[in-house]
Every structure is written in C-alpha cells, then in structure tokens.
Chains A and B, each alone.
Chain A
Amino acid sequence: MRRKRSLKILAMLRTWSAGKKSVVVLLTGIVASMVILGLTATTIVYTSTEEFCSTTCHEMTTNVAMEYKGTVHDKNRTGVRAVCPDCHIPHSQIPLYIRKMGAVHDLWGHFVTHSIDTREKFEAKRQELAERVWIYMKENDSRECRGCHNAAKMDPEKQSEKAQARHAKAKKERMTCIDCHFAIAHNEPQGGVGPQELEVDKSLISKGAIF
C-alpha cells in the first residue's frame, strides 16, 4: 500500500518535471517568494521609521510628532531615543502584523472621513485617542515600554528615592508603566480621566510578572 502511494507520488513528480520548462517555473516560484518576502519586510521596516511616521500624514506631523520633540524620549543625556514605533508598534512578529493591518483604519480616517485633519478636530478627539492608547498599553502590561525598559535590569540605587518608593508601591498594587508614565511624550488631555481610572481586563497582566 505504502509502496503504491510512493509510486503514485513519483509518477506525479515525473509528470511535473515532464513539463519542458518546469525548472524555470520552479525557479520563478522561488524568486517570486523572495520578492514577496523582501517587499513585505521592506514595507514593514520603512513604515516603522520615525521619518515615515512623522512626515507622511500632516495629522501626525502637526500634532503628536511636534509635541514629542524635545521630550526625554527624543533628547536626553545619552542620546538614546525612543521614536514613534518604539512605543506604538509591537516589536514581535504576530502583534506587529496585526497592528500594521490596523493602519488601514488610519488610511480611512485620513482619506475618507478626515477625522482629525485640523488641529481643532484633533484636540476635540485627544482624550478619546489617548484613552485608546492607554487601554492598549494597560491590556498588554506596557509591552512596548518594556521592549526597551527591562524592569529586572533597572538599578534602583541609581533611581531617586521617590522613584524607588513609587516603583515598589506600583509593584504591590499591580500597576503598569503607563498608569503613571502617561503624557510624557505628548500633551496631556485636559478634563478627562487618566490611565489609573480606566478599567481594563487585567487577566492578561495577572498571567505575567508586572516588574
């Protein structure tokens, strides 16, 4: 039975290779896969640059990119920075692809509904947009923060006493980075609730260590 099946597969392969140019077709497939993978990777890398994020749409340029300028994540003692994608795009493969597909929503807002195409419209939506980011960060335990800031590698002795005390308290109360470190790269929305007041499903957080 097994022999029969293997013969069948052999025969199938033979019919394929019987096609005169099958080697060329095979190579075409291999080259095509290289082009597809290459283009995908290049697109992802290019659309994850500070230049792309902060200059492609005026919505980003005139609001959030401008506000970010001069903050501690832009300019500091060592010149080690966090640019747009470092905080706002997942660093691991699958969440990254999901987020990139979510960018279709940005295109919709930019080209179709013009949801934040003026400073006034943006300001009117600031609280809503900020809350969306805060909830995302709370739900994944500030995963993107932790992409750079490794809590286990923080040296408390190099932190202020206030910071040490607050971190200890945050750990005990199962808080996450964004609960306190919000509005550090963009203007703080006025009049609404902060991240600590937002309720999220913390089941994801409780599964992993917070600090």
Chain B
Amino acid sequence: MSKVLEKIRSWGAAPGALGVLGVGLGVGLLFFGSIGAFMVHANSEKFCATACHEMGYLAAEHKDSVHDSNRTGVRAACNDCHVPHGYIPNYIAKLGLLNDWWGHYVTGSIDTKEKFEAKRYELAKRVWVYMKENDSRECRHCHNSGKMDPERQSEKAQARHMKAKKEGLTCIDCHFGIAHKEPEGPGPQELNEASK
C-alpha cells in the first residue's frame, strides 16, 4: 500500500504534473464531449433527412404520414424508429454508419431514385428483420402497450391486438409501410420464422 502511495507521490513530484493532468482532463472532456455531441447531432431529424440526398427520398415519404403530422402534433422522427434508444445498441448502430458512408461515397448503391426503387424491397426487409428480431424495440420506446387504453381503440384494433398477442406477433408484423412506401413482395409476416 505504502509502495503505491509512494509511486503516486513520485508522479505528482514530476515537474508540471498538475499541468499534464489538466491537459489530460481537457483532452478527455473535449473528446468524450464531442462524441456525445455527435451522437445527439447524428440523431436529429435535420441531419438524417438532409445530410445525404439518398435519405431525402425516405424523408419525403415520411412527410404527412401519421408519425409526422397528426391530431396532437406528437411526432416520431427518423431516429425514433431507426436508432436504438439504449446506449450500447445506439453505439453499435452508429458504427453501422460506416456502411452508409461506403454506399454513399464508394459504391453509390442507391444514388439515384431508380437504384433506390430497385433496392427498396431488400432495404425494407432488412429493417423488418431487425425489428422482428428485437420485438419492435424502437416502436415500444414510444408506444407502451401496457399503457394503451383498449377502450379508446376501434373494435377492429382491439380484436387484432388480442389476436396478435395470442399468436406472438410483433408491431412491425402488421404496422409496416406506414411511414414509407410499401414495397412489392412478401411482408414481414411472411419472412422466415427462423429470423425471430
């Protein structure tokens, strides 16, 4: 123990140790602060919808959907549905940005509307599988099914929700193609059960 203390004392005795510590603190604050600020910025609707023209197609489709404009003006913007809300999944999703950059700068995979339309089904499927695998985690971040009031839902909705619960369905199984155009092809319910 005294050895450790002595060691620490010897560090402190080094000339300018306090200054070095201060520089370390400053560098750290700047570095981690920047990461935090980047995370917030990269989650904003403005960034998502305008930084790349590819996203502009999707943003235009989202406009006037119920998650954009509705009775109460309570909205879900891009990140609410497409970026995880927990820390670790958020960081992992942010690393996925590298794939977006690769597509944007190198392969130009969806840089025209035609290319985008040709890939729409594949892209939609990727999101559906992701949402099915995590039981529509991002939907549930806003929509707390335990706090839904069935009496305020239509009879049809009540019956369907009951059925979905019994059959182990998740939100995206039915609520797809609600914020972006629906692609041609099998929907989420037809996707391989193995992906659950």
Contacts and interface: CB of A to CB of B under 8 A. Distances in A.
B73 A152 contact: yes
A86 to B, nearest CB: 10
Contact of B11 (A16, A24, A76): A24
A18 interface: yes
B74 A77 contact: no
Interface residues of A, number: 41
A174 B17 CA distance: 58
A22 interface: yes
A74 B6 CA distance: 57
A32 B31 CA distance: 12
A25 B17 contact: yes
Given A25-B11, A34-B28, A37-B33, A19 B20 contact: yes
B27 A29 contact: yes
Contact of B36 (A22, A36, A37): A37
Contacts of B29: 33, 36-37
A25 B72 contact: no
A26 B11 CA distance: 11
Given A34-B32, A76-B148, A77-B149, A26 B24 contact: yes
**Looking at chain A's contact residues, is the secondary structure mostly helix, strand, loop, or mixed?**
helix
Interface string A153-164: 111001100000
A159 B71 contact: yes
B25 to A, nearest CB: 4
A153 B153 CA distance: 22
B152 interface: yes
Given A22-B16, A155-B71, A37 B32 contact: yes
A75 interface: yes
Interface in B79-127: none
A166 interface: no
Interface stretch (B49-57, B139-147, B162-170, B181-189): B139-147
B22 interface: yes
Contact of A29 (B24, B68, B73): B24
Leading 7 A-B pairs by shortest Cβ distance: A29-B24, A19-B14, A33-B28, A79-B148, A154-B73, A30-B28, A16-B16
